[in-house]
């Protein structure tokens, strides 16, 4: 039994040793495996780090390329902006001194307005608290108070600005007028409607008179003109106040002389043909005027009236040529000032259209022309410019004022009219003398180139109700004692003044 125990013990020891050896081998294999795993992990980590570094380098290169491209684009944009800034700087540098002054004034006024707003806000709460006003009422009260305090300074500033603007406007107006006259450069027109028909020989006079004067009587009845046949050799004079009738008679008589057949029936036929030819010529003259001034089409009846101006004169100045020149001058000045040049040209061309109409003597041609233009479809602006070109009515637009100025320029150019300076001054002096000759008249002034006389009366001698009577009496005196073109407007002014002294 004892020996069995030792055997068992020895076997147990041997088994323990074997197990210890195996355990040591297992730990050794485990350590080797861990080493291999650690080496493999380290190798993989190194490989991953290398790949990550390469990817990072590649991404960095891409980003650097993008940055360089953006920087290049930004540099181009910067260059373009700098070029644009230089262009703007050059443009700003070319601005006029007046614009800089206006900007400075605007900034100053804006600053003052800001001061007023601050003052108003400061007063608003106090006014509302003391007077029990609403916010709107308090604001209105504050603004009124601030404006009242600043009114003298604002008035002085406004007066200064108006004075400078008026001075600049005068210089600018002179430049515009001179430039318009230079660019127009029309020939001076000084025509007189003739009524003398030359004859090939004095024998033709007898044929014109006819047996017992029947030819000349028929001619006068059909044409409405007087035929003057006197001892003047080889000449027949046609007399009529109507230039169109005189033109028809002249053309008809010349045609009869060339034809040689002069008898009542032939006279009527030739005169009727001359009227038709004149109507066609009137349309041609009107169309040429529209082309010359660059004016668009208008009604046929209005063109017929416009063509009639070719045979009418004012102080020996042809009215159609004057109208064309007025339209050109008004259009050029309107273009220079940035206004409606088409409106100015049209109104300038039609401003004397009233002279082609048969109107009552007491109606001014400007008013007649405005009514005719309105009746034939012209715009209200054109009609207003026509009506106001002599000052009988108020000019409703800058273009209307340009038409009036162009009318005066065309009529006042040297050589445009036959009326000389001495006769013109004599007529103005005579007009003032007639007015001063009435009882109670203190002073009289002829204005508007003699188209108006303004009379100042003594209020203690001329009652308020007598001014109209005085105006009528003076107008009748002017009609009987003075020769003048068109019409003369009489304005009587009665001013009541009260004077006292504080001692």
pLDDT at 190: 41
pLDDT(396) > 60: yes
Q: How many helices (H) and strands (E) does the chain have?
A: 15, 8
**pLDDT band with cut points at 50, 70 and 90 for residue 193:** very low
- Superfamily (CATH H level) for 291-412: Hypothetical protein af1432 (1.10.3210.10)
| Total-model pTM | 0.51
Could you tell me if 313 and 193 are in contact, meaning their C-beta atoms sit under 8 angstroms apart? yes
pLDDT(418) > 60: no
pLDDT(386) > 70: yes
Could you tell me if 399 and 420 are in contact, meaning their C-beta atoms sit under 8 angstroms apart? no
- Strand bridging mode 317-318 / 313-314: antiparallel
Does the domain formed by 196-282 have CATH 3.30.1370.10? yes
| List of residues 6+ apart from 90 with CB closer than 8 A | none
pLDDT(119) > 50: yes
Could you tell me if 417 and 317 are in contact, meaning their C-beta atoms sit under 8 angstroms apart? yes
Could you tell me if 376 and 353 are in contact, meaning their C-beta atoms sit under 8 angstroms apart? no
Average pLDDT value for residue range 468-484? 84
| List of residues 6+ apart from 286 with CB closer than 8 A | 303, 304, 306, 307
Fold designation for 422-494: GMP Synthetase; Chain A, domain 3 (3.30.300)
pLDDT(361) > 80: no
pLDDT(237) > 60: yes
* Cα separation, 452 vs 256, whole angstroms: 47
Q: Is the dihedral of CA 100, 105, 111, 117 positive or negative?
A: negative
């Amino acid at each position: 039994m004892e020996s069995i125990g030792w055997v068992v013990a020895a076997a147990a020891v041997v088994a323990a040793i074997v197990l210890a050896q195996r355990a040591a081998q297992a730990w050794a294999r485990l350590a080797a495996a861990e080493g291999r795993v650690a080496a493999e992990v380290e190798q993989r980590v190194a490989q991953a780090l290398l790949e990550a570094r390469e990817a990072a380098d590649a991404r960095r290169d891409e980003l650097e390329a993008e940055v360089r491209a953006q920087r290049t684009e930004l540099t181009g944009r910067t260059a373009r902006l700098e070029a644009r800034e230089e262009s703007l700087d050059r443009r700003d540098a070319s601005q006029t001194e007046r614009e800089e002054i206006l900007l400075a004034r605007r900034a100053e006024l804006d600053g003052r307005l800001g001061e007023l707003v601050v003052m108003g806000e400061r007063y608003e709460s106090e006014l509302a608290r003391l007077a029990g006003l609403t916010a709107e009422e308090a604001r209105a009260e504050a603004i009124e108070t601030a404006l009242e305090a600043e009114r003298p300074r604002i008035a002085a500033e406004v007066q200064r600005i108006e004075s400078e603007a008026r001075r600049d406007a005068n210089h600018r107006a002179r430049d515009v007028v001179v430039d318009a006259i230079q660019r127009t450069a029309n020939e001076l027109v000084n025509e007189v409607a003739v009524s003398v028909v030359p004859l090939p020989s004095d024998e033709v006079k007898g044929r014109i008179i006819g047996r017992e004067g029947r030819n000349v009587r028929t001619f006068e009845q059909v044409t409405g003109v007087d035929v003057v046949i006197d001892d003047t050799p080889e000449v027949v004079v046609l007399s009529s106040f109507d230039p169109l009738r005189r033109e028809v008679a002249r053309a008809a008589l010349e045609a009869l002389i060339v034809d040689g057949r002069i008898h009542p029936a032939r006279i009527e036929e030739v005169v009727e043909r001359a009227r038709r030819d004149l109507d066609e010529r009137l349309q041609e003259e009107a169309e040429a005027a529209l082309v010359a001034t660059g004016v668009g089409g208008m009604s046929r009846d209005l063109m017929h009236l416009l063509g009639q101006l070719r045979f009418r004169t004012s102080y020996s100045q042809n009215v159609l040529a004057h109208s064309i020149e007025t339209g050109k001058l008004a259009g050029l000045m309107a273009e220079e000032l940035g206004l409606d040049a088409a409106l100015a040209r049209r109104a300038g061309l039609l401003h004397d259209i009233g002279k082609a109409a048969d109107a009552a003597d007491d109606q001014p041609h400007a008013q007649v022309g405005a009514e005719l233009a309105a009746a034939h479809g012209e715009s209200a602006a054109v009609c207003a410019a026509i009506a106001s070109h002599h000052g009988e009515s108020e000019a409703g637009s800058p273009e209307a004022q340009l038409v009036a100025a162009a009318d005066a320029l065309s009529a006042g150019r040297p050589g445009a009219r036959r009326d000389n300076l001495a006769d013109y001054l004599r007529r103005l002096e005579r007009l003032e003398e007639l007015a001063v000759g009435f009882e109670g008249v203190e002073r009289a002034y002829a204005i508007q180139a003699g188209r108006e006389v303004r009379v100042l009366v003594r209020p203690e001698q001329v009652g308020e109700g007598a001014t109209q009577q005085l105006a009528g009496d003076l107008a009748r005196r002017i009609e009987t004692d003075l020769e003048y073109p068109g019409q003369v407007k009489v304005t009587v002014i009665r001013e009541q003044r009260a004077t006292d002294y504080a001692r």
